Amino acid sequence: MHGNRFRYNILTALLLAPATAWLVVFLVLPFVAIAVFSVGERAPEGGYQAAFTLAQYANLPARATAFWNTMMLAPVGALACLLVAYPVAYYLALKAPQRWRLILLALVVIPFWTSLLMRTYAWMYILGGRGIPALLAFVGIEDVRLINTPGAVLLGIVYGYLPLMILPIYVSLERLDRRLLEASADLGATPLSTFLGVTLKLSLPGVMTGFSLVMILLLGEYLIPTLLGGGKVFFIGNALVDLFLQSRNWPFGSAIAITLVAVSVVVLIAANRISTRVSGARRVDLI
């Protein structure tokens, strides 16, 4: 009995070893390195120099605008994605003919096979002066400027992150017990109140998963605002790129990165709490 338990533990440890090693090498060690950097000093030629100081953290207010912009962009971007994604997921899961479903799902995922950078560059040309504005000029609407506007950034974000929002919602709607919809109708509910009281409510875990997923990724986003927004609005992602690559102030960059991770964890926990409360017992297990 005792021996069995021991053998079982060894087996478990062996099975978990690859994943543990992966986590340690690619998550824990880099994180420790960044944490060590963040209490260091910038070397005179740039980079990192060993020290122990909290000066970098005290300096965080110097990037307050970047934090603020990011905190605004992430929920707004995620909400915009949600508004577009929900109807699509709803159609895919509940309305689309069975034989089309797989093809339509593939169409959602296929753009992900190309790098986001390439696809965003394509949007630069579509929104730029030789794209849609040229077509508009052809029908007499002159001097329309689409590129480097907040609208272009939002469009790029919705386009880039849509599949991440559609898939979890699709999964939760797909698992929906259709008999509940019937029961709701039999009991006299209108289609709208069935949707609000049954469909939407039961799909909330998927919505929260998609929402937190997109929001966490948006916290580090800088490519789309740079390419489609003209780099005029400064996000944490931009601040990090500048600090590591241009001014080569690794300790300050590390302090910002650590703070961003801390903020992301708080966001996740909050999302978990909200989702548990709203949807009853089902939890979103992201962390």
Partner 1 sequence: MSKSYRDGLPISPENFVDQLMRLKRGSIGRRDFLGLTGLGIATAVMARELGIMPTPAFAAENLGDRMSIATWPNYHDPQTFENFKKDTGVAIEVNVFGSNEEMLAKLQAGASGWSLFVPTNYTISTYKKLGIIDPLDMAKLPNFDSSQEDPRFTSEGTIDGTTYAVPKNWGTTGFAVNTKKLAKPMTSWKEFWDVAMAEGDGRTMVHDYQLTTIGNALKYHGYSFNSLKQDELAKAEELLLKVKPHLFAVSSDYQPGMRAGDAWMTMCWTNDGAQLHRDIPEIAYVLGKEGGEIWTDFYAIPKDAPNKPAGYALLNYLMTPEVAVKEHLANGAPSTDARVNKLLPKEVLDNPILYPAADLLTPLEFGAAATLTDPGRAELMARFKSA
Phi-psi region of 230 (alpha: psi -120 to 50; beta: other; left: phi over 0): left
Tell me the β-bridge partners of 49.
Answer: 41
Cβ-proximal residues to 231 (8 Å cutoff; 6+ apart), any chain: 225, 238
Show the CA angle centred on residue 279, arms to residues 162 and 217, nearest 5°: 30
Of 153 and 181, which CB lies nearer to partner 1 in the complex structure? 153
What track of x and - describes contact with partner 1 for positions 191 through 230 (by CB under 8 A)?
-----------------------------------x---x
C-alpha 34/C-alpha 36 separation (Å) is 5
Among 9, 20, 53, 65, binds partner 1 (CB under 8 A): 65
The CB-of-79 to partner 1 minimum distance in angstroms stands at 23
Q: Are 79 and 161 in contact (CB under 8 A)?
A: no
The CB-of-260 to partner 1 minimum distance in angstroms stands at 15
DSSP assignment, residue 41?
Answer: B
Instruction: Name residues contacting partner 1, limited to 14-53 (CB under 8 A).
Output: 42, 44-47
Instruction: Record the tokens describing residue 127, joined without a space.
Output: 């929104």
Indicate whether 132 belongs to the interface with partner 1 (CB under 8 A): no
Indicate whether 128 belongs to the interface with partner 1 (CB under 8 A): yes
Q: Are 184 and 198 in contact (CB under 8 A)?
A: yes
Q: Which of 56, 30, 79, 76 is nearest to 239 (CA)?
A: 56
Of 173 and 228, which CB lies nearer to partner 1 in the complex structure? 228
Of 232 and 283, which CB lies nearer to partner 1 in the complex structure? 232
Kindly state the number of chain residues that form the binding site for partner 1, as judged by CB under 8 A. 34
Indicate whether 124 belongs to the interface with partner 1 (CB under 8 A): yes
Instruction: Name residues contacting partner 1, limited to 238-257 (CB under 8 A).
Output: 238-239, 242, 244-249
Among 32, 125, 151, 287, binds partner 1 (CB under 8 A): 125
Q: Which of 123, 141, 139 is nearest to 131 (CA)?
A: 123
Indicate whether 147 belongs to the interface with partner 1 (CB under 8 A): yes
Region binding partner 1 by CB under 8 A among candidate stretches 112-120, 124-132, 163-171, 216-224:
124-132
Q: Which of 116, 211, 120 is nearest to 167 (CA)?
A: 211
C-alpha 238/C-alpha 227 separation (Å) is 12
The residue ranges that bind partner 1 (CB under 8 A) are: 42, 44-47, 62-63, 65-66, 69, 124-125, 128-131, 133, 145, 147-148, 226, 230-232, 234, 238-239, 242, 244-249
